[in-house]
Amino acid sequence: MNEYKGIWIIGEQKEGIIQSITYELLARALELKGSRAHEISIVIFGNIHDAELKKIRNVNADYLLQINDRRVDYFLPEPYANILYDLVQKRRPEIIIGGATSSGRTIMPLVATRCRTGLTADCTKLEFEEKTGHLLQSRPAIGGNIMATIKCADNRPQMATVRPKSFSSKLKTSEKILEIITMVPEEKLFSSSVKRIKFTPISENSSNIQESDVIAAGGRGLKKKENFKLINRLAALLGGCAGATRDAVDRGWAAYPQQIGLSGKTVSPKLYFCAGVSGSVQHLAGIKTAANIIAVNNDCEAQIFKIADLGIAADLFELLPLLIEKIEKSRKSVNDKNFSGAEHE
Ligand SMILES: Cc1cc2nc3c(=O)[nH]c(=O)nc-3n(C[C@H](O)[C@H](O)[C@H](O)COP(=O)(O)OP(=O)(O)OC[C@H]3O[C@@H](n4cnc5c(N)ncnc54)[C@H](O)[C@@H]3O)c2cc1C
């Protein structure tokens, strides 16, 4: 096992832009490295814009292993997994950390199986075991009621996926300059039985939920689908995205990509506003890193009030229409002022 060295993170790009999950994984790897000396490599498939390469140059990592080939600009499971497996065989990393994103959740198990090693999915905490140096991989288990810590003692590499937005992506710049190594995989590794035809986002409301600074979310307290319009309207007025609990999604009031929580998405907005949401452990698992939580619930004992920065004990059907009206009026008066100001100029 001694021949395995270094930490790899599987970065992601979209249209040449490095995605925030890359920086989150890097922040994780740097924190891990803090306790032991490890080289950090970022693996990225596809072309990256020069400006993006500049941004990632001084992030304190050692290598960028770039598969700079147009055929992998977009995610395709077979070529990605073939190439990653081939790189692992040649360069032998000790640890590989990927995002618990659609692509990470697809290729990491494929590669782990081929390497005959273990993989812990959806980790929220990673650390080294003091005595052995094994990677301790922790994640919520049994419906979010306990934290399970898993290690892969006998096989290498040790592999884990990490939930997006479960860690800060803020990084300090350093003097060290990343060495870019362009990898040229063998032709046969690009073969794929899947062809990308086009990209269609599932829903406009949900497409950016993990990147959004403001989220208005609704739960079963909204009673029926038509009432979910209140949440959609509020989200639009606040310039954010609409989110939902699993109950609301199961009832068809919102789409699955809008689901927040253990079996949905983890979000990290500046403002998380929710109404008719009880605050189950599974839902709370998705909003732990939200900066400010405002909750409306007509039950003063609701769990959500235990973590809310501002809790409003009220009937949402009275409060939300009033709030929406108030915001609409204040927006209108700002617009009117701007308009009359322009007339007098
Ligand atoms: C393995 C597993 C994974 C899960 N994953 C997720 C997940 O990812 N996300 C998730 O959300 N859940 C998840 N769940 C489900 C979770 O356990 C809860 O069932 C769910 O979060 C409850 O959703 P809710 O808050 O909308 O509904 P409820 O718990 O029924 O809460 C509705 C709330 O609305 C309030 N209310 C009712 N009427 C009004 C009114 N007029 N005005 C104001 N408030 C009102 C009530 O007081 C209540 O607190 C998971 C469960 C399991 C077992």
Annotate 314-331 with DSSP letters as a single string.
S-HHHHHHHHHHHHHHHH
pTM for the model: 0.77
Judge if the beta carbon of residue 256 lies within 6 A of ligand 1.
Answer: no
The pLDDT score that the predictor gives to residue 342 is 54
What is the residue with the minimal CA distance to atom 2 of ligand 1? 143
The pLDDT score that the predictor gives to residue 282 is 94
- The rounded Å distance from CA 259 to ligand 1 centre is 11
Instruction: Give the residue among 293, 5, 33, 7 at the shortest CA–CA distance from 171.
Output: 33
What is the distance between the alpha carbons of residues 309 and 239, in angstroms, rounded to a whole number?
Answer: 21
Q: Do domains 7-190 and 214-342 have the same CATH topology?
A: yes
The pLDDT score that the predictor gives to residue 174 is 80
The pLDDT score that the predictor gives to residue 216 is 98
Residue 157: how many CB atoms within 10 A of its CB? 25
pLDDT in tens, the chain (345 residues): 778 999 999 999 999 999 999 999 999 999 998 767 789 999 999 999 999 999 999 999 999 999 999 999 999 999 999 999 999 999 999 999 999 999 999 999 999 999 999 999 999 999 999 999 999 999 988 877 889 999 999 999 999 999 888 777 778 888 888 999 999 999 999 999 999 998 876 655 555 798 899 999 999 999 999 999 999 999 999 999 999 999 999 999 999 999 999 999 999 899 999 999 999 999 999 998 899 999 999 999 999 999 999 999 999 999 999 999 999 998 877 777 766 655 444
Computed on alpha carbons and rounded to an integer, the radius of gyration of the chain in Å comes to 23
64: helix, coil or strand? strand
Q: Are strands 135-141 and 146-150 parallel, antiparallel or unpaired?
A: antiparallel
For the domain spanning 214-342, the CATH number is 3.40.50.1220
198: helix, coil or strand? coil
- The rounded Å distance from CA 256 to ligand 1 centre is 15
The pLDDT score that the predictor gives to residue 333 is 77
Instruction: Give the residue among 69, 315, 293, 73 at the shortest CA–CA distance from 184.
Output: 69
**Ligand 1 closest atom vs CA 302:** 49
- The rounded Å distance from CA 276 to ligand 1 centre is 8
CATH for 7-190, among 3.40.640.10, 1.10.3720.10, 3.10.450.50, 3.40.50.620? 3.40.50.620
Domain ranges of the chain: 7-190, 214-342
The pLDDT score that the predictor gives to residue 204 is 54
Ligand 1 test: best mutation among 246, 272, 312, 318, most atoms within 8 Å of CB? 246
